[in-house]
Amino acid sequence: MTPAELLRRVHGCAFDDFLLSPQFSVVARRDPARIDLTSRLTTKLVLKRPIVSANMDTVTRAPMAIVQAEEGGLGIIDRGFRPGEIEGQVREIQIVKRTQHGVVSDPYTIPPDAGLEQAIQLMQRSGVGTLVVVDAARRLLGLLTERDVRFVSGAARVADRMTPAQRLTVHEGTIGIDEAERVMVEHKVKKLPLVESGGRLLGLITARDISKHRRQPFATRDAQGRLRVGAAIGATGDYLERAAELIRAEVDVIVIDIAHGHSVVMASAIEQFRRRFGGFELIAGNVGTAEGARFLVERGVDGVKVGIGPGGGCTTRITTSFGVPQVQALVECRLAIGDRVPIIADGGISRDGALALALLFGGDTAMLGSAFAGTLETPGEIVHKPVVLPEGQRTVRVPFKVLRGMASIGAIKDRLDVEDAAEVDLDAIGAEGLETSVPARGSVRPVIQDMLKHLCSAISYGGAESLADLRRSFWSDPDRYLIRLSAAARRESYDRS
Ligand code: XMP
């Protein structure tokens, strides 16, 4: 099939317009631990699982981003904080970056002459059970653990209770995780401080972090072993200042996220961003057309976010009649930019099977919002609402959480997202998002894991050995796979009411 024929075939189509034809299966087990799902998030960043949680203020804050990264994907922290209030977003990044480390490069430290009371307070405030004792030149003097301060009263000082450096196992220089584990096992220690040749503290490795590494082999980590996380900014107002603070907090990727990314506002934002932050990893969106995708790639972004109006909390198409059905958008953008820059398929994945379609039609990774809504890791309070059971007159109180589009009037009101306007006339803002209640449920972790299992099953049905293999096979002969559904076939496939 030529690209032009494929484009004609998917014109006006969404995920539910298609089924894929099963092929001869070649995998022995549909197991996410064995099937390679590696995908590019940006030109430089790779995810072992192709899932990204949406930058929505009812979906992704630190708890969601942590689980996403632990499971091999990535969370993008939304910018739903009031203009000028950048610290809130920065704090979320810091929480993720501090969650889990390979090497803790900036461990909590305390001077030797500090009182134990001060040490206990620092442990409580930081939630850290080991403090590194250093002198004014940051040379390692010892370690102080929770056990050292337990049941001690009076005016004792840190130096009186710490384990001095001479009695510790200390490594000079940097060290890989495997080698660190070997040293710690050999010396039967749970903490390994790293120092320069002069004794200055370089970092700390803990047994707890190493075992987390082992238990989560697919986690998305940076070079220091910390979880990766992204953050969204706008294209006007405080966006450059926000980006500067986020980059200082060591965010891994910035997303310039506006509803219509094929715009003069976006062109200027990318230009300013590049001028100020050079080659820092940058994703931009959203676009839904070939011209839109090319426009972003020509301006040097590292990732393109595709989706105009497919999102669950989105009313853009209803209120403006503009938008592009998501399958058409993905195929158009993929054909326009090839493999030069990775695509994030953003929105409209309301059942697990649609994830496979999003990743075949053009998405290198997929961004999801409503699929994660209501889970434990989403921000927001649980409210109990009475619900009448259909079979009888009984009413039960069901826990709900709010899911709202970032362009819903509620979200706009909360962050006053008209960044340069002093006076805000809320009625004059065209809201393009819904606010809904979704049932509160447990952790997002099994939701992600189920999604990945289903994706592996799709790879098996598709006759491939890995996600990359399935993509190759699909694009080499789309005709072998594509079944355009009749209304009856769609009912048979997807309507289960
Ligand atoms: P899903 O379908 O996974 O989609 O919930 C998530 C994506 O929806 C987009 N989004 C919006 N789009 N108005 C819009 O037009 C909104 O208020 C809105 N809120 C979120 C966004 O791209 C997100 O990643």
State whether the beta carbon of 193 lies less than 6 angstroms from ligand 1: no
What distance in angstroms lies between residue 404's CA and the mean position of ligand 1's atoms? 9
180 vs 188: CA distance, rounded Å: 12
Alpha carbons within 13 A on the beta-carbon side of 112:
15
What is the position in ligand 1's atom list of the atom closest to the CA of 316?
15
What is the position in ligand 1's atom list of the atom closest to the CA of 434?
17
Which residue minimizes the CA distance to atom 19 of ligand 1? 405
State whether the beta carbon of 405 lies less than 6 angstroms from ligand 1: yes
- Looking at residue 126, its pLDDT comes to 84
- Tokens 């326009």 appear where? 336
Contacts with 403 (C-beta within 8 Å, 6 or more apart), sequence order: 56, 58, 59, 312, 313, 369, 370, 373, 374, 378, 435, 436, 437, 438
State whether the beta carbon of 307 lies less than 6 angstroms from ligand 1: yes
Assess whether 314 carries a catalytic annotation: yes
What distance in angstroms lies between residue 2's CA and the mean position of ligand 1's atoms? 32
Q: What angle do CA 94, 183, 96 make, to 5 degrees?
A: 10
Q: For residue range 229-285, what is the model confidence (pLDDT) as tens digits?
A: 999 999 999 999 999 999 999 999 999 999 999 999 999 999 999 999 999 999 999
Q: For residue range 391-438, what is the model confidence (pLDDT) as tens digits?
A: 777 888 999 998 988 888 778 777 655 444 444 555 555 567 788 899
Homologous superfamily (CATH) of 3-100+219-377+444-494 is Aldolase class I (3.20.20.70)
Extents of the domains making up the chain? 3-100+219-377+444-494, 109-207
Which residue minimizes the CA distance to atom 11 of ligand 1? 314
Structure token pair of residue 275: 């001028």
What distance in angstroms lies between residue 481's CA and the mean position of ligand 1's atoms? 29
Residue 242 is classified by DSSP as H
State whether the beta carbon of 285 lies less than 6 angstroms from ligand 1: no
At 294 the three-state DSSP class reads helix
At 150 the three-state DSSP class reads coil
| C-alpha distances in Å from residue 177, one per residue of 211, 248, 278 | 10, 25, 31
Nearest-10 Cα torsion for 144, 148, 151, 154 = -60
What distance in angstroms lies between residue 313's CA and the mean position of ligand 1's atoms? 5
Type and span of the H or E element at 194? strand 191-195
Beta-strand ranges (E) seen in 349-434 are 365-368, 383-388, 395-404
Which residue minimizes the CA distance to atom 24 of ligand 1? 54
State the sign of the Cα–Cα–Cα–Cα dihedral 423, 429, 431, 437. Answer: positive
Contacts with 228 (C-beta within 8 Å, 6 or more apart), sequence order: 45, 69, 74, 220, 221, 222, 252, 253
228 vs 351: CA distance, rounded Å: 26
CB atoms near residue 77 (< 10 Å): 29
CATH fold match for the domains 3-100+219-377+444-494 and 109-207? no
| pLDDT < 70: residue spans in the chain | 83-84, 100-101, 415-431, 497
State whether the beta carbon of 205 lies less than 6 angstroms from ligand 1: no
Record: fold of 109-207: CBS-domain (3.10.580)
State whether the beta carbon of 408 lies less than 6 angstroms from ligand 1: yes
- Tokens 């997002």 appear where? 444
What is the position in ligand 1's atom list of the atom closest to the CA of 285?
22
Which residue minimizes the CA distance to atom 18 of ligand 1? 405
263 vs 285: CA distance, rounded Å: 10
At 489 the three-state DSSP class reads helix
- Looking at residue 440, its pLDDT comes to 93
Which residue minimizes the CA distance to atom 20 of ligand 1? 405
Annotated active-site residue in 13, 314, 333, 456: 314
- Looking at residue 83, its pLDDT comes to 63
